[in-house]
Structure 1
Amino acid sequence: MEDVVLIYHNELGLAFRWKNTVPNADYERIQVVFRNMSFYLLQEEISKFSQNIRSAQFYNCSDCKANKSCRNILLKTPLEKMDISLNMQELSKLSDLVEGTLFKLDLQDYIWGAGRN
């Protein structure tokens, strides 16, 4: 893990950026890893993913007789041809992971940008 800069993590996954020492790495992109998937995204794509997650959270399965852990929520990813299925618990944890990542990125932008007057 010495080649990465950890941005945010929770019990579902983590988000990191490759250090400048890694050849051919795109330093603008953030690696978001959860479950058995990994996305290599720009900050704008993570923001779009966050919007998709917020939209999916309106899905209500309270009347469902199936187990709450069933993966009945289809979530659009930033990749046009890829969606993933999640349960409500995973969706909540993924929301925390993505929102925490965006918060940390915005905080870094502020500290190293506008806040450096």
Structure 2
Amino acid sequence: MEQDIYKIYHNNFGISFKWINPQTEKVKGKVQLIFRDMGFYLTHNEIKQFYNCVCAAKNTQPCSCCQSNIDSKNILLKTPSNKIDIAVNEKELSQVEDLIKGTLFQLDLEYYLETLCKN
């Protein structure tokens, strides 16, 4: 059975979307965030937590032997799941940051417009 999606945001690295329930044709609540070969099924608050993890990872310094290799996956990115960390390089971290920021912007804009239109 094929399911449709409601795309929230995408970049060259990944995509975020919500699944559409085929029976009701309503958009489901959690967001599917996909990049590289991984998918995360997250709430709005978990996406915010993930963004905080990205910000924390940006402030870490790689070891001296890894600093010279730009492609080295020398940054350990924590995720909202305390059982999963991801090894990324600086470029990937930047792309994950863009994906999450774009997703949060679109979700916040959607919430704002829905709230504003109800009044």
The two structures share one fold, judged by TM-score above 0.5: yes
**Aligned residue number for residue 114 of structure 2:** 112
Does residue 59 (structure 1) correspond to residue 60 (structure 2)? The answer is yes
Structure 1: runs of 5 or more not aligned: none
Output the aligned Cα RMSD.
2.3
- Aligned residue in 2 for 1:20: 21
Aligned pairs, how many? 115
Specify every segment of 5 or more residues in structure 2 that has no aligned partner in the other structure, as ranges.
none
CA displacement, residues 51-80 of structure 1 (integer Å, 9 cap, x when unaligned): 000111112349655411100000111111
Q: Deviations over 1:67-94 (max 9, x none)?
A: 1110000011111111000000000000
Give the structure-2-normalised TM-score.
0.87
Determine which of 85, 89, 92 is the counterpart of 2:91.
Answer: 89
**2:12 maps to which residue?**
11
Distance 1:52 1:43, change over 3 A: same
1:77 to 66, 75, 79: 79
* 1:60 aligned partner, one-letter code: Q
